[in-house]
Chains A and B, each alone.
Chain A
Amino acid sequence: MVIDLKRCVGCYGCQTSCKAEHGTPPGVLFARVLKRELGTFPNTRMVFLPVLCSHCDDAPCVDVCPTGASHYREAGIVDIDKDTCVGCRACMQACPYAARYYNDEQRGYYGGQGLTPYEEARYAEQNCDVVMKCNFCIDRVNEGLEPACVVNCAARARTFGDLEDPTSVVSRLIRQRGGQQLQPEAGTNPSVYYLPPE
């Protein structure tokens, strides 16, 4: 995936559409947008950084997992088998991108009112007391669709494609715009690239 920071307007569309797609509870954000105001008045600027699981080639979360619940799937996607995860949270500590979340309880969005029928239905698909993360919407990808955060990005800041194919749009964008990985010093070779904002 390539994220163009020049196009990102920080609308949180990716975050919201991801929540709708996966029905995640409060405290679990597969896709999120970090924002910072840098500088001092009047010379300030707002910067946005959409983050998600980087689906690293050399994923430390897969290495540390004692059960093999964190694993590589087809096309280099890193996923978690919710029925094998033991909830040790070692993968959370190993991930340099803080992209994993521990789902410790079935908490609803409307405190004190219990779960809504929608929440009950969506939470039934998930396991409690295990770690959760973005899987690039693998069910959608298998159907030939793009991940929810990509199709719902109003600014078209996200591009999804095959990094292995040098003629793909993502490969071309990375080459032409100087795409960079987040924290390359971690040595994990992430599959998410960022195009510079300027």
Chain B
Amino acid sequence: MPRQADTAYTEFLSDLGATFRPQRQWVEGRGLYLIIGHFFSSVGAGTWLFSLWLDSRLGMWMAIAAVGLSGLAHLRFLGRPSRFWMMFRLRTSWIARGFVGMNIFLPAACLYVLFPTGPLGWVWFILSIVGMTFLIVYKGNVYAASKGVPFWNSPVLPILYATYAIRGGIALLLVALPFTGASVAAEQIGIIELWVAVSAAVMLGFYLGVMRQTNLAARRSVVELTRGRAAGAFYLGTVCVGLLVPIALGVVGVGNPLSHVGLALVGLFSLAGDFFAKYTIAKAGIYAPLMPAGTI
């Protein structure tokens, strides 16, 4: 047995014996590709929304590229990627809805960017909005449908993830500012970014507050996030880099407008925070315990 597999198996056996069994499938090993996929799909969908609003063609292409990368990351995550085309069980599965959303978005968005004013321009526009909406909404619901992980099984999570998707979209446009120049209303985006960053911070605080009151496993997950195995990434990535720094820079920018490079930095920090928010929330997931705590 290879050494790495041996370690993973020992860890698995240890997990099975633990009262609070951590979920590892969606965050460790190949599971990291799922987090990357979720990150890119939410950033891509958010970028599409703001690119349409601000009429930024570069932003539109970046949105398409981000969603395309998300699709590749999702395929890399799947155990059997060659069967991806079977994911059409829309009636109850949010994963299938996300997959369909991605398949609507990618061709419709490409066609809209290429032929925005043609006779079918409105059709591509509406289809891309439909696909984008699916992409913004599905991720949080995929987690919220996970009854085995009480920390995720909350209606607050889809709202938090949608907030982060919108924020990721603005952030990617800010990163592109040095390349788009004055064609995009930089100050306007900066203020929106500040507002959404504050909203994300409030939503995150609200979510953790709700989860602390929910049940034993959810409380334990909050402990994992704030004091346990996800704490380092949470404080450094999600809170400091992802929220405090962008909010501080945003507040400074209200009085003294930041340069495009400064705003791009805000966007970069925000994107990092978006990734770490998804990573740490996944990492803090704990399966509902079947037995009371005790020694083994």
Interface of A toward B, CB cutoff 8 Å:
26-27, 29, 32, 34-39, 47, 49, 51, 60, 62-68, 84-90, 92-98, 102, 104-105, 107-108, 111-112, 127-131, 182-183, 186, 188
Surface stretch bound by A, among B92-100, B239-247, B255-263: B92-100
Could you show 11 A-B contacts with beta carbons less than 8 Å apart?
A: A38-B292, A60-B148, A67-B96, A86-B80, A86-B86, A89-B31, A93-B149, A98-B288, A102-B25, A186-B147, A188-B147
Report B1-37 CB contacts with A as 1/0, cut-off 8 Å: 1000110010010001001010101100001000000
B185 touches A (CB below 8 Å): no
Q: Is the CB of B290 within 8 A of A94?
A: no
* Residues of B that sit less than 8 Å from A by CB: 1, 5-6, 9, 12, 16, 19, 21, 23, 25-26, 31, 77-81, 83-84, 86-89, 92-96, 99, 142-143, 145-149, 152, 285, 287-288, 290-296
> In the complex the two chains form, is B1's CB within 8 Å of A87's CB?
no
- Point out the residue from A26, A39, A63 that lies within 8 Å of B92, measured CB to CB: A63
CA distance A188 to B145 in the complex (A): 13
CB contacts between A and B, total, < 8 Å = 140
Q: Inside 8 A of A27's CB, which chain B residues have their CB?
A: 9, 12
**Bound CA span A150–B264, Å:** 64
Enumerate chain B residues within 8 angstroms of A183, measured Cβ to Cβ: 288, 290
- Docked pose: A27 CA to B290 CA in angstroms: 18
Query: Contact at A96–B147, with CB atoms within 8 Å?
Result: yes
The 6 A-B pairs with the shortest beta carbon distances in the complex, nearest first, are A87-B79, A111-B1, A129-B79, A36-B294, A93-B146, A66-B87
B86 touches A63 (CB 8 A): no
Chain A residues closer than 8 Å to B78, beta-carbon distance = 86-88
Q: Decide: A98 and B296 in contact? CB cutoff 8 A.
A: no
Known: A86-B84, A92-B25. 6 other contacts (CB 8 A): A36-B294, A37-B295, A67-B88, A67-B96, A90-B95, A94-B147
Given A64-B94, A68-B89, A93-B26, residue A37 in contact with residue B149 (CB < 8 A): no
For B95, what are the chain A residues with a Cβ–Cβ distance below 8 Å? 64, 66, 88, 90
Q: A64-B92, A84-B86 are in contact. Are A129 and B80 (CB under 8 A)?
A: yes
Nearest B-chain residue to A93, judged by Cβ: B146
A63 — which chain B residues lie within 8 A by C-beta? 92-93, 145
State A127–B96 Cα separation when bound (angstroms).
22
- Do B26 and A89 touch across chains, with their CB atoms under 8 A apart? yes
Q: Which residues of A contact B80 (CB under 8 A)?
A: 85-87, 127, 129-130
CB of A112, distance to nearest CB on chain B (Å): 6
Residue of B nearest to A129 (CB): B79
Tell me, in angstroms, the Cα distance from A29 to B94 when the chains sit together: 28
Residues of B within 8 A of A102 (CB): 25, 79
- Min CB distance, B27 to chain A, in Å? 11
Contact A97 B86 (CB under 8 A): no
- Please determine whether B93 and A36 come into contact, CB atoms closer than 8 angstroms: no
For A129, list chain B residues within 8 Å (CB). 79-80
Bound complex: CA A97 to CA B23 (Å) = 13
> Of all chain B residues, which has the CB nearest A59?
B147
